[in-house]
Structures are given as structure tokens and as C-alpha cells.
Amino acid sequence: EVQLVESGGGLVQPGGSLRLSCAASGFTFSSYWMHWVRQAPGKGLVWVSRINSDGSSTNYADSVKGRFTVSRDNAKNTLYLQMNSLRAEDTAVYYCARVGSYGLHLKYWGQGTPVTVSS
Amino acid sequence: EIVLTQSPGTLSLSPGERATLSCRASQSVSRSYLAWYQQKPGQSPRLLIYGASTRATGIPDRFSGSGSGTDFTLTIGRLEPEDFAVYYCQQYGSSPPQFGQGTKVEIK
């Protein structure tokens, strides 16, 4: 069974940093692209970042470019999102998601980890 | 960057009725790389449809997707009580793989 479990969320002051983790199990982690998607309270889904299977290629939404860094450790089956220079507008639930076996749609999602940026 | 516009914002229907949700793209979506997701309150999104028209594993056949180019539709044949939720489209044919703003299907 595919499982994605996010952790690392919490309360952080504006300008602070946080690192989210997504522990993957039930599949060959090193074979799949992974994504981060966020959802502000009461709002819709917003794509944040993605990384290819070996970590050599990454993409970011304009709103987080230069502040967030996605990475992965295929030996540890873990995806990361390093978030620096956090702003109030980064407050959201952050989901990690895995693509499908035959396409880049988001087939599996974690339960999400909440991030609150506030003083 | 492709912008997805979903309509209507809210759809008020009764159980048993048919729901038709629209997703319009600002540019043609490459190879119909368009997905639909369902999200219920307090839950993670769930994949319903990918490739514009292929149902994901375990999705009931009352859910169907259609369209190509810039116009896509999600149809729910007969609404069941568990179908009242928010639905999002997403294009994944080009970067960034953006989502639409969502359509809420609520009980009338």
C-alpha cells in the first residue's frame, strides 16, 4: 500500500525557516517524480514544487522561487521541502504527492502538514 | 503559463441529479494532460480522472471526463450523497502544472 506521511509543519515567525519531510513507503520511491502542493485556509489547491525521480531536475511556483528548495533522499525514501524567508501568505496545509505509474498526474497524496507563519 | 478557469464556482444540486463541471484553459493543454480531483472537508484530494477521460482506479463509472485542447468537462451522472465536495482540475502537460480554482458541488 502506498503511503505518504508529511511532517515538520508548525508555527514559525515571518522571515523564519522550516523543513518539511514526506516519508514514502509501499513503492519504489526512486522511480517517481514527487510534488508539493499547498492549500491556504479556506482556499484552493496551489502547486508549489516538483522534483524528478533522481533529484536532478526541479521546478517551482513563482511565489516560492528563490525561497523554497525541494530535494529528496532516495536511500531514505524521503522527500523534503526547505522553506526559508517565510511569509504570512505561506500559511497553508502542505501536501506531498506522487505521480501515477503512466503519467504525471498526482495519483497519491499524503495527509498534509500545517504551516502557520505568524508573529 | 496555462491558467485554468473552472465554472461554475458553486453548483447546487439534489442527489440523483446530473452535475456538469467545466474547466477552460488559457492555452491548449498538451496531449490532454488534464486531471480532475475531488476534495472533501478535512481530507486530502483524491484523483478521479487523468488524461482528460481515464478514470482512476476504484472511481465509480458515474464519473466521466471529456474534452481536449482548451475545454474540458467532468460529468457526474447521478449525484450520490458522498459526491458533494469540491472538484479541481489540473493540467500537467506543461510547467507549472497549475490547478483551477475549484467548483463546489453542494446539496440543494
Convert the pLDDT of each residue in A67-84 to its tens digit.
999 999 999 999 999 999
User: Taking CB atoms and an 8 Å limit, are A45 and B44 in contact across chains?
Assistant: no
pLDDT of residue B60: 97
d(CA B9, CA B102): 7
Calpha distance A47→B96 (Å, rounded): 8
pLDDT of res. B34: 97
Going by pLDDT thresholds of 50, 70 and 90, the confidence category of residue B61 is very high
Instruction: Residue B97: name the closest of A72, A108, A106 by CA.
Output: A106
In this prediction, residue B73 has a pLDDT band, given cuts at 50, 70 and 90, of: very high
Alpha-carbon distance A17 to A9, whole Å?
11
Tell me what pLDDT residue B31 has: 85
Question: CB within 8 A of B42, min separation 6: which ones?
Answer: none
The pLDDT score that the predictor gives to residue A101 is: 85
**A32 contact B CB<8A:** no
Residue numbers in B near A59 (CB within 8 A)? 95-96
- pLDDT computed for residue A77 by the predictor: 98
Average model confidence (pLDDT) for chain B?
96
* Cβ-Cβ contacts under 8 Å, B97 against chain A: 35, 47, 50, 104
pLDDT of residue B52: 96
Distance CA B55, CA A65 (A): 33
β pairing state of B103-107 and B10-13: parallel
User: How far is the C-alpha of A16 from the C-alpha of A13, rounded, in Å?
Assistant: 5
pLDDT < 50 regions, chain A:
none
pLDDT tens per residue across span B8-47 = 999 999 999 999 999 999 999 988 899 999 999 999 999 9
Q: Is B65 on the interface with A (CB under 8 A)?
A: no
Q: Please tell me if residue B95 touches chain A, with a CB cutoff of 8 Å.
A: yes
d(CA B88, CA B102): 5
Q: Which of B50, B59, B88, B103 is most worth mutating to test chain A (most A CB atoms within 10 A of its CB)?
A: B50
- pLDDT of amino acid B49: 97
Of all residues in chain B, the one with the smallest CA distance to A6 is B44
CA distances from A68 to A21, A64, A106, B11, B80 (A): 13, 6, 21, 36, 40
Predicted confidence at residue A66, as pLDDT, reads 97
Q: Which of B31, B40, B44, B49 to mutate to test the interface with A (most CBs of A within 10 A)?
A: B44
Which triple of cell numbers denotes residue B1?
503559463
pLDDT at A51: 97
Q: pLDDT at position B25, please?
A: 97
Confidence check: pLDDT of B5 > 90? yes
CA atoms within 13 A of residue A112's CA, in its CB half-sphere: 19
Mean pLDDT computed over B67-78: 96
User: What is the total residue count of chain A?
Assistant: 119
A35: number of Cβ within 10 Å: 24
User: How high is the pLDDT of residue A81?
Assistant: 98
What pLDDT is stored for residue A97 in this prediction?
Answer: 98
Mutate to test the interface with B, among A106, A107, A108, A113 (most CBs of B within 10 A): A106
